[in-house]
Each structure stands twice: as structure tokens, then as C-alpha cells.
Amino acid sequence: MRPWLELSPRALTANARAISLRAAPARLCAVVKANAYGHGLIPTARSLSEASIQNLAFGVFTPNEAISLRDAGISEPILLLGPAADADLEPLVRAGVEIAILDADDVGRIGRMRATVHLKVETGTHRFGLRWDQVGAVASELRDAGARIVGVYSHLADSEELDAAFAREQLARLLDSVEIVGLASGSRPQRHIAASAAAILWPEFRLDMVRGGIALYGLWPSEGVRERMRESDPSFTLEPALRWFAPVVHICDAAAGETVGYGCEFKCTRASRIAVLSLGYADGLPRAAGNERGRVRFGKSYAPIVGRICMNACMVDITDIAPPVQRGGAAELDVEEIAAAAGTISYEVLARLPAEMERRFA
């Protein structure tokens, strides 16, 4: 009796089509890193590949993800967004994976493989990327080595801020870099900088391609983005593609004054009925969501998580739930609610869902 996930390929493809339609004529790069945000890498990619989305591409972070997609028969362009070791390069090039140039040290070792590449430009996030004053020399070196530059891109630091002032500074730096690369390489590479928030909100950021991540899976990049779209275009909607369930494996009674869980931090103020769920922090439930910060749902009723969350279990107060909860029943968790209760973001909760957790596809 273990927790499980229910996945909806229909919701996933509906979200992808909505993003693709909104971003057009820019193409959609579906970001499926971190096990497709917990949704399952191969089933997610196959569902999207079969959805007939024009000019679809995929984005991954690790070489293993890229090769796994090719081995599963995914034929669309794949962009490796993360670093690659020397040993990874030959298999990636052989598989036709487009490789990101993330810093100056990448240029020689990837260029000599005659790889197809995207140059990442550091425009203000200070994570990965070439400084914009390096890109001309890098483009020339790659051209001379026989590499093919098909993209120039960057990543926004604060696209969820609704005035987007700093994001526009980053966009200007990227566009300047694209011109330099074009002159140095004699090509017109794809330009991309928008992830979910900018792709949804800001037409000028869509350029030639958008990288759809969290929105692809039916969750909003932030509450601000959700509210802005509710006001400006209520016809644009997202549907969560994942539901999260945990079975009730034990029920017990606790008297007023008795405590629940490690540390005796939760004390019952009344006679209470406590259900134990087979779900803990080893299963992706953040420990910070315990002690009445988080809750679960039984039908239309909610039960608070009481006491500390354990490695493989948590306790919920079902005293007020009607009809009474039975052993063998199941509670449902809302990813966004759990993230808020734990003081984190939905991205983190999804990315930490274990790969071995059962995933049921409806």
C-alpha cells in the first residue's frame, strides 16, 4: 500500500497545444528534464510526440535524458540544456542531439566534434552562459571547427515580475548577441529566451522558440501570472496533468492532551481520530508541510497533516471528515497547496517525486 500518481496525457497535450498556439509562430520546446517534472520522461515525451504539434522540440538537462528519448524512438529535435562530459559527446552527436555551449571551455571540445549547438548567453542570471562580449569570437571558433550553430539563447531571471523591466534588459542583451553571432558565423540561428511565464505573458519575448516547462504540466509559474491571465485573457487555461494519492494504512484514536508524531509537537485539544498515510518525505512530501501547515483531501473535505512528517508516513486528523475515513481509502494531495505549505514552489515538489513511485496513466 504505497502512494501513486495519476497522469493525464489528455491534459498534458491540451496544455502543450494551448502554449504552442499562444506562442505561434514561435515553436514550442517542451522541457522534460527532471523526469518530465515528475510526470515520467518517456510517457510524457511520447504523448507530446504523438500530439501533432507543429515543429515540436524537446529540452532536457542531462545526456542520459537525451539518449533515453532517442532510445525510446523520439525523433524530434532534442536540446541538451545542461553540461556534458567529454565521454558523453560522441553518443550525443551520433544521436543528433543539439548541445548547449555553456562556457568558453566547451568551445574547443564540443566544436571539434562538429556538433550542432546552441550558444547560451549570460545576460543577468549568472548561472550558465558566455558573456555577451565573448560570443563573436566563440561563434567564429565554432564555425572554423565545423560545428553548426542553430540557436542562441538565454534565461530570464525574473520573468514572473509583471513589469518585466530587468527581463527586457536581458532580452536586449540577447538580441545584440544574436546579431554578433550571425555576422561571425554567417547563419541566422534560432533565438530563444522565454520559459513558461514569458511565453504566456510577453509576445516580444517569444522570438523563434519558447521553452515550456511548468505550464506544460498544467501549473502556473506564479500566482501573479495566473492572476494576470485571469484578468487579461481568461480563455487561456491550464489543466494539471498529475494527481497525487496516498493510501490510508492505519487509523487510531488519540485522547485530548495526547501527542502525535516525533517530538511530541502536536498535542490533541480534543478526542481525535488520526489516519496514517503511507506517504512521507522519502516519497516527495516536504517535511516542512507538517504540523498543520499542509492538508490532504478526502472527497470534498480536508484533513490537516498533524505532527512531523516521517520518512515513509504522515498523520492526518480525520475527526471531522464525513463519511468516516476507512483503512484502505485514499487521500489526495494538491501539489501547489503542499508547496505553499512547505514554503517552496510547485517545481520543487514535482521534481522530487521519486521515479519509482507508481504512475497510472488515464
- Which tens digit of pLDDT belongs to each residue from 173-225? 999 999 999 888 888 999 999 999 999 999 999 999 999 999 999 999 999 99
pLDDT at 186: 83
Question: Quick one: pLDDT at residue 8?
Answer: 98
Fold of the domain spanning 8-231: TIM Barrel (3.20.20)
What does the pLDDT read at residue 162?
Answer: 64
CA pair distance 177, 198, nearest whole angstrom: 20
The residue from 37, 120, 153, 262 that is catalytic is 262
pLDDT score of 238 more than 70: yes
Half-sphere exposure of 71 toward its Cβ, with a 13 Å CA cutoff? 10
33 tagged catalytic: yes
Contact in structure between 305 and 289 (CB atoms under 8 Å): yes
Query: Dihedrals φ, ψ of 141, to 5°?
Result: -65, -40
- CATH: 2.40.110.10, 2.40.37.10, 3.40.30.10, 3.40.50.10490. Which one for 242-361? 2.40.37.10
Q: Which residue in 194, 186, 190, 233 sits closest to 211, CA to CA?
A: 194
pLDDT at 184: 86
129 HSE (CA, 13 A, CB side)? 21
Q: Cis bond leading into 221, ω under 30°? A: no
**Which residues, including other chains, have CB under 8 Å from residue 152's CB and lie 6 or more apart?**
118, 119, 121, 135, 174, 177, 178, 181, 189, 190, 191
State the pLDDT confidence band at 362, using cuts at 50, 70 and 90.
confident
Between CA 133 and CA 121 the distance in angstroms is: 9
The arithmetic mean of pLDDT across residues 49-58, rounded, is: 97
Whole-prediction pTM value? 0.95
- What pLDDT is stored for residue 252 in this prediction? 97
Work out the angle at residue 290's Cα, subtended by the Cα atoms of residues 286 and 291, and round it to the nearest 5 degrees: 165
SS3 226: helix
Cα–Cα distance, 262 to 248 (Å, whole number): 19
Range(s) for CATH 3.20.20.10 in the chain?
8-231
Q: Which of 33, 153, 217, 347 is catalytic?
A: 33
What is the mean predicted confidence (pLDDT) over 302-320?
98
**Range(s) of the chain covered by CATH 2.40.37.10:** 242-361
Query: Catalytic site residue 267?
Result: no
The C-alpha atoms of residue 7 and residue 45 are separated, in whole angstroms, by 13
Question: What's the pLDDT score for residue 241?
Answer: 98
C-beta separation of 209 from 77 below 8 A: no
